[in-house]
Amino acid sequence: MAGLRLLLGLCLGLCLCLCPGPAAACSPRCRHGGLCLADGSCLCSKGYEGERCQHATCYPKCKNGGECLRPGKCRCPPGYGGRYCHKVSCEGGCQNGGECISVNGVVKCLCASGWTGSRCQEAICPQGCRNNGACVAPGICSCPAGWVGTACHLAVCKLPCQHGGKCIAPNVCRCRLPYSGPQCTKKRKE
């Protein structure tokens, strides 16, 4: 009779055979297609583990604190992505050649030279941009009308200042004595 049971049995792998007989009872039931064995334990299907096959397994394991939702599918914490949470991911991305990195579990953009900001979106002008100029690229200011120069520090006078006068603001000359007037052309009488 034992031989007959072996012939009618279900063999799993090389060394475990399940033979017909009294129905096995697992309580609570085996989950995710797990098979209830005669001793009341569960034989889990591929991708699941635990006493009742209640836990999904991911291979490779989820990285950076990710949670395995089902075989091969991880839920990643903020700042990480990819199938197994192995890729660092900066929300909104890094601009202007910045690189997304993780330092001690903190995800941030590492900016290329000349850029700053949480997403490397702000150019750095070490010389500053004066007179309401705006830094638009590393070391480059966009100047308002009437101003030029790397720092928007040079005023523009449409008509040049004469007799050694200096343009100090858009279309404003500072004259040297004894000259005066908009372009320093009037000589004062002594």
Q: Distances in Å between the alpha carbon of 154 and those of 52, 71, 123, 129, 175?
A: 78, 66, 21, 11, 16
Lookup result for tokens 């890729």: 87
- Each residue's pLDDT tens digit, 81-106: 888 988 888 888 899 999 998 888 78
The band of 22, judged by pLDDT with boundaries at 50, 70 and 90, is low
In a shared domain, residues 93 and 132 = no
Beta-bridge mates of residue 73? 70
Q: How confident is the model at residue 48 (pLDDT cuts 50, 70, 90)?
A: very high
Residue 95 lies in a domain: yes
Looking at the structure of the chain, the number of domains it has is 4
Instruction: Grade residue 190 by pLDDT with cuts at 50, 70 and 90.
Output: low
pLDDT for 164: 93
CATH number at residue 162: 2.10.25
Residue of higher predicted confidence among 171 and 9:
171
CATH number at residue 32: 2.10.25.10
The residue range of the domain holding 32 is 25-57
Helix (H) or strand (E) run with residue 140 in it: strand 140-142
Whether 62 maps to a domain, the answer reads no
- By CB atoms closer than 10 A (0-12, 13-18, 19+), residue 122 is middle
Q: Structure tokens of 151?
A: 């720092």
Same domain, yes or no: 140 and 166: no
Is residue 1 assigned to a domain? no
Is 98 inside a domain boundary? yes
The contacts of residue 149 (CB under 8 Å, 6+ apart) are 141, 143
User: Do residues 104 and 144 share a domain?
Assistant: no
Q: Judge if 78 and 101 occupy the same domain.
A: yes
Predicted local confidence at residue 41, as pLDDT: 93
In a domain, 79, yes or no: yes
Per-residue model confidence (pLDDT) at position 92: 86
The answer to whether residue 2 sits within a structural domain is no
* Claim to verify: residue 112 and residue 71 sit in the same structural domain: yes
| Residues 74 and 111 grouped into a single domain | yes
Residue 19 has pLDDT above 60, yes or no: no
Confidence category of residue 59, pLDDT binned at 50, 70, 90: confident
Q: Tens digits of per-residue pLDDT, 136-169? A: 999 999 999 999 999 999 999 999 999 999 999 9
Q: Are residues 150 and 177 in the same domain?
A: no
10 domain residue, yes or no: no
Whether residue 71 sits in one domain with residue 44: no
Average pLDDT taken over every residue of the chain: 86
- At 87 the pLDDT is 86
Residue 175 inside a domain? The answer is yes
109 and 72 together in one domain:
yes
